[in-house]
Amino acid sequence: WPTHAPPDRAGAWDVGLGCLCRAACDMTLPAHAMHLSSAFLASVSRHACRQAARRPTLHAPAVSLGTWAAPALPLLPGLRRGRMGLATASVAAGKQPPPSVVPVASSEAPGAAIAASSSTFRESRDQVALSERQDAFLLERLPRDWAEEDIHSCLQRAGLDLGEDWRSKLLIMRSRLGRSIGRVLVASAAHVPHVAQACPSGVTYRPMDRNDVEHFVEQCERFVNLSDDLHRLSRPDYFQRIITISEVPESYGRRDIVHVIKERCGVQVEPRDVVFRFKRWGRQSDACFVICPTARDADHCVAQIQELAVPKRAAYGSLFGAAFLWSSRATLFLSHPDLDFVLDSKFWVFTTGWQEDMNVDEFSAVMTQMKFRPLRVVRHPIPSDQSSAFFVELEGMQRTKKAMVRLRRLKWRWRMKQETPFFAYPRRIDVHRACEEKFEDEDSAADSDIDEPIHY
């Protein structure tokens, strides 16, 4: 294409320019035509503006030019690409530009647009940057052997002075054993991201507003009381009343889950009855366990919370987008002294809902008749629904997986409801003891995914 169009062929130039836009979007240009210089694009924008100003209306190819040339312009905050293209076309047509878009004539950025002022735009959109509403900042992945003195000296080396009462401005997340997790909250409104460079390699910095601070303090409390909460979940009368909600945003706390359940399901749940899982390094997981008032309320919540849209940040409404919650009875909790040393291997399957008076011999006979062939069976009563549950040990992980597949087929063949628990894979909760220097679940050398033979 020529870099300058003859003045008597303006219409032909618009058509050719429209073809150029379509070809560039379809990526069908030849190799020598893909390397377009900035000078060529500048002449194209200037010529299109001059030609559009001469005509009272704007042809479709010129609109395509504005939309196609929009990514080369600095995109304004909160302004979509399509809106940028129409704004550029309106300015080129000689119309009054919007108050937030001002055309600039510059040799370096022809056809560019700038915002009036960041404060004006922010006030019109009711948005304030996180660094301007910061109340504290969070340091993560710190060494676990660091105490308050080590963190304070590190901040001083970075040029941040917390004053004489610096101990009251540091909150270290600790476990029930008093060991640090490597996360610390520093109550300082100063935005100092350079402090992460004075810390050991891998430390991350994140500013936090008031809602984030409240959420972190709640996390510290829940992490200390996690053992007591898990013991409470395993009470016999809670067996049928516990639901698992997954895909929970990381900014959610107990009160947010209680509000969602009350508004969407009409069920009132106490905040202490919401227990969140935690990841390996003390971060809150995306799953939580909820104790419903009755088993019927649990069934109702499971039916309602299926791909339920909620804001990612409850404190800011729909400003940060939406997340989708799912619920099920994916996790069951049992606790009894007779079960402390039952799971001595990984090849166990748990099944519940059998008759209350069924004993181990009768259940073993039924399993053998259905070609399960268990090695060992342990019975456990379920008083909440007056039934019996059994732990079945099988030979190898391959037979264990086949047994779970067959139990799933039996559940479908016996026309059992989807939310009714029938079988599960049992495992013990990870226990950290004060005498251990390195916990078993954190030892990567003990991790193994090869639990069954590999057939080449």
pLDDT digits (tens, 9 = 90+) for 395-454: 988 889 999 999 999 999 999 988 889 999 998 887 777 777 777 666 666 555 544 454
- Per-residue pLDDT, 428: 84
Work out the average pLDDT over 256-282: 92
Q: Does the pLDDT value for residue 33 go beyond 50?
A: no
Q: Could you tell me the pLDDT band of residue 63, with boundaries at 50, 70 and 90?
A: very low
Q: Could you tell me the pLDDT band of residue 51, with boundaries at 50, 70 and 90?
A: low
Q: Could you tell me the pLDDT band of residue 127, with boundaries at 50, 70 and 90?
A: low
State percent of the chain over pLDDT 70.
67
- Per-residue pLDDT, 50: 54
- Per-residue pLDDT, 78: 37
Structure confidence by residue, pLDDT tens digits, 300-341 = 999 999 999 999 988 888 778 899 999 999 899 998 888 888
CB 259 within 8 A of CB 274: no
CA dihedral (404, 407, 413, 416) positive or negative: negative
The dihedrals phi and psi of 248, each to the nearest 5 degrees, come to: -80, 130
Alpha carbons within 13 A on the beta-carbon side of 164: 0
- Per-residue pLDDT, 422: 92
